[in-house]
Structure formats: C-alpha cells, structure tokens
C-alpha cells in the first residue's frame, strides 16, 4: 500500500491484471439513498472485520478499505454489479486520495490487492510490430 495522503483526483480506477475494469468519477454525486448505504457499511464494519485471518475490531480506515477492496474484487469475479458499484463508491468517497485499486492474480491463485494513493492509472498502449513485406532479413 502506498502513501494515503489525500490528493484529490476525480477518478478512481480499478485495475485487474493490468487492465482497467472500472473507472469511478467522484464528480458525480451520490444519491442520498446511496450515501446511507455507505454509512450502513461503516456501521456493519464497526463491530469488526476479518482480514487475512485476523479479526480487527474496530477496524481503522485502511483496514476497512482493504476489506472493501477485497469485496469489490469478489463482486467483479462473480459479476455482482450492484455490490461492485457500492464497494467502489465506498472506496472513492471514504478515501478521496485513492487513485487505484490494483489486483493481480499470482501463479499460486492468490489475489494480491494494492491500494495506490500516489499514481493515477495510465492506460497502456499495445504496440504491435510487424515485419515489412519482402524483408526477410534485417541486414
């Protein structure tokens, strides 16, 4: 996890295996009903959460963020759009300096999640090299 210093960026990008899968624009206001749902999420977590097999009660903001980011990625994996939207909104609203949630699946099947506060997502561009016709030799 990188430095959680708030640097207001309107976009939060969720990146899975190097691909941006969600871009959340903080400039779009939440409906009051959605804000109440985020408050309810906080109330539910006040009693404690389990992170990496350890119970945290009450969890601090970064522990909550890691817990919610994990829920977000599970929702994406199971195509549960409503949970993905709510958890992404939670992260964007509660952590205004968060720029990226990056997830990579490792060879052993484990998912590694990183909360990035210091670098906005920069889309990668694929460059495809082709050999010119009739040029079999580079000399």
Long-range contacts of 49-57, Cβ-Cβ distance < 8 Å, separation of 24 or more: none
Residues 80-114 pLDDT 10s: 999 999 999 999 999 999 999 999 988 887 889 99
DSSP letters for 83-134: HHHHHHHHHHHH-TT--EEEEEE-TTSPEEEEEESS------------PPTT
Residues 26-57 pLDDT 10s: 999 999 999 999 999 999 999 999 988 899 89
Provide the whole-model pTM. 0.81
* pLDDT for residue 136: 59
* pLDDT for residue 106: 81
Residues 54-76 pLDDT 10s: 998 999 999 999 999 999 999 99
Q: How far is CA 77 from CA 63, 96, 104, 105, 124, in A?
A: 21, 25, 12, 12, 22
């Amino acid at each position: 996890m990188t430095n959680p210093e708030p640097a207001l960026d309107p976009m939060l990008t969720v990146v899975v295996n190097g691909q941006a899968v969600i871009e959340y624009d903080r400039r779009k206001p939440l409906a009051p009903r959605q804000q109440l749902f985020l408050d309810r999420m906080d109330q539910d977590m006040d009693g404690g959460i389990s992170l990496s097999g350890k119970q945290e009660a009450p969890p601090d903001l970064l522990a909550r963020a890691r817990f919610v980011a994990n829920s977000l990625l599970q929702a994406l994996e199971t195509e549960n759009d409503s949970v993905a939207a709510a958890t992404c909104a939670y992260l964007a609203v509660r952590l205004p300096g968060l720029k990226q949630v990056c997830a990579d699946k490792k060879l052993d099947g484990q998912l590694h999640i990183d909360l990035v506060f210091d670098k906005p997502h920069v889309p990668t561009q694929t460059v495809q090299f082709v050999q010119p016709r009739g040029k079999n030799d580079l000399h």
